[in-house]
Amino acid sequence: MKNHFTGAAVLALIAGAVAADTADKRIALSNNYAGNSWRQAMLSTFQETADQAVADGIVAAADAYTTSENQPTEQAAQIQNMILQGYDAIVLNAASPTALNGAVKEACDAGLVVVSFDGIVTEPCAWRIAVDFAAMGKEEIDYLATRLPDGGNLLEIRGLAGVFVDDEISKGIHAGVAEHDKFDIVGSVHGDWAQDVAQKAVAGILPSLPEVVGVATQGGDGYGVAQAFAAAGRDTPLIVLGNRQDELKWWAEQRDANGYETLSLSIAPGVASLAFWVSQQILDGKEVPKDLTVPFLKITQADLDATLASTPEGSVANTVYTLEDAQAVIEAAE
């Protein structure tokens, strides 16, 4: 006796078969730090994507874990615990590109898929989803050079000390200054990608600095920088911003008051959703290149109002990636 199915039934069976390939799989996010608005938006985006995937029967579970301190030893222990808990994949924002390689290798040897993003790892068994952070840093200086053709003194705001992202952005900033030699970096402080930390650090160094015409930042720090200059009674320099809502709001206010113009750029926290879908595709048996690259999210003067309107208060301008987006990124890298 032949079975007869409607077109809709056939599609339902196909969809069920696809979902069944990862329907029993469990994915964990290992995150090394949550102390700023970007990290909070990243965690929120991951959880929203993961919760929907669980509700849709695509995976069995997807849980997020954050270490209490930005320490590789603590995160390595967290990864080892995920292995013991029986997860099938780990999506990893790493405290160090190298210090976690041992724990990552343990996970791979235990059969887990490890997809690192933002803070990537160099262990060959892991996948990496990266923005060209050095190019982002250099683009800041290229932009400042177009706006300040006579050059001048720059202040550099760095991120978390010892983290791959901080090192790469700073490398790009210094490469840009070497190319545009009318600029001099006269001061450098760590703002930890947080407005309050950046404001305090800049306030501490400003009295020792000559006139500053531009500030190269890393994200999460631009508004704090502006507040420190204002509190010191100094002219506001040209500050490259990092897509945080408070920065964008300040930018719009300054634009309306005095025509202030700048550029804002950062990695979108939604890269966590991309990492989730990439891990799901690998678990589903797809061939995925070990290294994937995504563009950073750039906001110009023309984009400001629309981006600010769509960015929740206290959050960060974002791009959320779908399964289809992940498949397109994978295909582009093949």
Provide the β-strand partners of residue 283.
none
pLDDT the model gives residue 17:
39
User: Has domain 7-131+268-295+318-333 been given CATH number 1.10.150.80?
Assistant: no
In this structure, the chain runs to a length of 334
Q: Answer yes or no: are the C-beta atoms of 29 and 65 closer than 8 Å.
A: yes
Please report, for residues 67, 117, 263, the alpha-carbon distance to residue 240 in angstroms, rounded to integers and kept in the order given: 30, 24, 5
pLDDT, one tens digit for every residue, the chain (334 residues): 333 334 433 333 334 434 448 999 999 999 998 988 999 999 999 999 999 999 999 999 999 999 988 899 999 999 999 999 999 999 999 999 999 999 999 999 999 999 999 999 999 999 999 889 999 999 999 999 999 999 999 999 999 998 888 999 999 999 999 999 999 999 999 999 999 999 999 999 999 999 999 999 999 899 999 999 999 999 999 999 999 999 999 999 999 999 999 999 999 999 999 999 999 999 999 999 999 999 899 999 999 999 999 999 999 999 999 999 999 999 999 8
Nearest to 125 by CA among 149, 100, 142, 152: 100
pLDDT the model gives residue 16:
41
pLDDT tens digits along 262-316 = 999 999 999 999 999 999 999 999 999 999 999 899 999 999 999 999 999 999 9
CATH class label, 133-266:
alpha beta
CATH 3.40.50.2300 domain span(s) along the chain: 7-131+268-295+318-333, 133-266
What is the phi/psi pair of residue 210, to 5°?
Answer: -75, -170
Dist CA 161 CA 154 (whole Å):
20
What is the phi/psi pair of residue 155, to 5°?
Answer: -110, 135
